[in-house]
Structure 1
Amino acid sequence: MIFVGLLIIFPLVWTIYLSLTDAHGSVRAPSDFIGLKNYLTVLSDTDRFWPAAGRTAYFTFSALAVEMVLGMIIALLLWRPFRGEKWVRVAILLPLVATPVAVGMMWRLIFDPNIGFANQMLGWVGIPPQPLLSGQYTALPTTIFMDIWQWTPMVVLILLAGLTSLSDEPDEAARVDGANARQRFFYVTLPLIMPTVIVAILLRSIDALKTFDTLYATKGKGGGSFHEVETLNVYAYGLSFDYNEYGVASAVLMIFFLIIIAFMWILTRRRKGAKQ
């Protein structure tokens, strides 16, 4: 616990320190204490910071909403035993095997406007090639689709674990009382697994908020030519390693860290309420 605590506390304290200085060029170079100036600079940046924050929220909540709905549907389909169940589960979990960078490069080739298989399929139905990943307004929805493809299986695993732990008695009692499938799901099954649902939301929302590798692998520096997929993580990375503005980058990371902590606190409170 001491070792893990040091791994968390030291980087956090060091980042807080850098965020209160004008560190740039190198973290070892002399720097002056400037207080909250970096935070004021970041919060007043309407060109990059706030658009990046908006894209982060859009990416997170869009991916999360679709993943929870699809994950619940697939988990319900896998809940009851059926022939070939093991093979279906293995096939569904395959996207989790690949690393995010590999997934990003794979979809980058698939969505290539010239040689990509996606545009070839569109051509079969008479639709001209589309800049799915390179377009200014289509790149972010396309990366959201990539996140959904890779991480929906994780939601399925969590929800399926919750479903398999349920007793059959409440569902059977509702069935005897004449409740149909929809009523049994919304009034019996869903309330019983709500703590598990919130755990899935908590884990996936944190991961989605921190998404970096897939975005960087597909769009590169700055999240693309028009910063179309630049989230807070990509923005902070660019400030650090492209412009060497370590003080400002640390301020961005600390603001982002506080957002994640607040979101975790809200979901944890909601989970406790669901258990009660």
Structure 2
Amino acid sequence: MIIVGLLIAIPLVWTIYLSLTNSEGSVRADHDFIGLGNYAAVFADFERFWPAVWRTFIFAGGVLIVELVLGMAIALLLWRPFRGERWVRVAILLPLVATPVAVGMMWKLIFDPNIGFANQLLGFFGIPAQPWLSGEYTALPTVMFMDIWQWTPMVVLILLAGLTSLSEEPDEAARIDGANAWQRFWYVTLPLLRATVVVAVLLRSIDALKTFDILYATKGKGGGAFHEVETLNVYAYGLSFDYNEYGVASAVLIIFFLLIIAIMWLITFRRKEKASK
């Protein structure tokens, strides 16, 4: 626990320190203490910072909602035993085997505007080719689709574990009372599964908020020519390794860290508030 605590504390303290300096060029170069100057500059950046914040929440919120809905639907389908269920479960979990960079490169080839399979398929149905990753307004939904494709199986795994642990007696009682399938799910299964859903939301929201690899693998520096997929992670990475503005980048990371902590606290607080009622 001490080692893990140090591995968390030392980089965090160092990042906080850098965020209060004008460090740039090299972290070993001379730098001066400027207090909250970097934070003021970041909050005043309406060209890159605030759009990156907006994209971060659009990306995380969008993929989380879709993954929860799809994950719940697939978990319910896999809940009851059926012939070949083992092979179906293995097939569904296959996207988790690949690394996000490999997934990004694979879908980048599929969505290539010239030779990609996606546009060839659209052409077969007489639909015009789409820019997908190269479009200013289509790039973000496209990378969101990639994330959904890869991480929905994780949500399925969590929810399926929760479903298999539930007792069948409440569902049988509701069935005897005449409740239909939707009523049994909404008023019986879902409330019993609430704790598992919260766990899935916490894990996936944290991962979605700090997504970097699949965005950088598909769009590169700056999240594209128009910064169309530039989230806070991509923005901070660019400040650090493309422009070597370590002080400003550290300020962005600390703000991002506090945002994640606030969101996690809000989710757990709401859970405790509902549990107390």
Question: Deviation at 1:270?
Answer: 2.7
Q: Does 1:128 align with 2:128?
A: yes
User: Partner residue of 1:68?
Assistant: 68
Partner of residue 47, structure 2: 47
- The amino acid across from 1:127 in the alignment is I
In 2, distance between residues paired with 1:94 and 1:270? 34
3-state SS, counterpart of residue 133 of structure 1: helix
Residue 203 of structure 1 corresponds to which residue in structure 2?
203
Which amino acid in 1 is paired with 2:86?
A: K
Tell me, yes or no, if the aligned pair for 1:79 and 1:163 is still in contact at 8 Å: yes
In 1, Cα distance between equivalents of 2:84 and 2:274: 35
Ranges in structure 2 where 5+ consecutive residues have no aligned partner:
none
Q: What residue is the counterpart of 1:34 in the other structure?
A: 34
Tell me the distance in 2 between the aligned counterparts of 1:168 and 1:136. Answer: 49
What is the identity, as a one-letter code, of the residue corresponding to 2:166? L
Structure 1 gap ranges (5+): none
Identify the residue that residue 19 of structure 1 maps to in structure 2: 19
1:170 corresponds to: 170
The separation in 1 between residues aligned to 2:4 and 2:150, in whole angstroms, is 29
TM value normalised by structure 1: 0.99
Change (3 A) 1:274 1:80: farther
Give the secondary structure class of the aligned counterpart of 2:34. coil
Q: Could you say which residue in structure 1 is the equivalent of 2:216?
A: 216
> Residue 128 of structure 1: CA displacement?
2.2
In structure 1, what is the Cα distance between the partners aligned to 2:157 and 2:267?
Answer: 20
- Name the amino acid aligned to 1:76: L
Q: Distance in 2 between matches of 1:190 and 1:26?
A: 52
| Residue in 1 that maps onto 2:241 | 241
1:71–1:159: 8 Å Cα contact kept in structure 2?
Answer: yes
1:273 positional shift: 3.9
SS in 2 for 1:41: helix
Amino acid at match of 1:235: Y
Deviations 1:242-266 (A, max 9, x none): 0000000000000000000011111
TM-score (norm 2): 0.98
CA contact (8 A) 1:195 1:274 kept: no
Matches within 5 A, 1:99-138: 99-138=99-138
Q: How far apart, CA to CA, are the structure 1 residues paired with 2:267 and 2:137?
A: 31
**AA at the equivalent of 2:257:** F
- Structure 1 residues 201-258: Cα deviation after superposition (integer angstroms, max 9, x where no partner): 0100000000000000000000000000000000000000000000000000000000
CA distance in 2, matches of 1:33, 1:11: 18
User: Letter of the aligned partner of 2:205 in structure 1?
Assistant: S
**How many Å separate the matches in 2 of 1:234 and 1:189?**
39
1:251 aligns with 2:251: yes
Q: Deviations over 1:5-40 (max 9, x none)?
A: 110000000000000000000000011000000000
Task: Give the SS at the match of 1:270.
Answer: helix
Structure 2 CA distance for aligned equivalents of residues 156 and 27 of structure 1:
43
CA distance in 2, matches of 1:30, 1:83: 67
Counterparts of 2:43 and 2:275 in 1: how far apart (Å)? Answer: 37
The equivalent residue for 1:79 is 79
Farther off after superposition, 97-106 or 119-128:
119-128
Report the RMSD for the aligned CA atoms in angstroms.
0.8
Percentage of pairs with the same residue: 79
Distance 1:2 1:270 in 2: 31
**2:8 alignment partner AA:** I
- Residue 268 of structure 1: how far off its partner (Å): 1.5
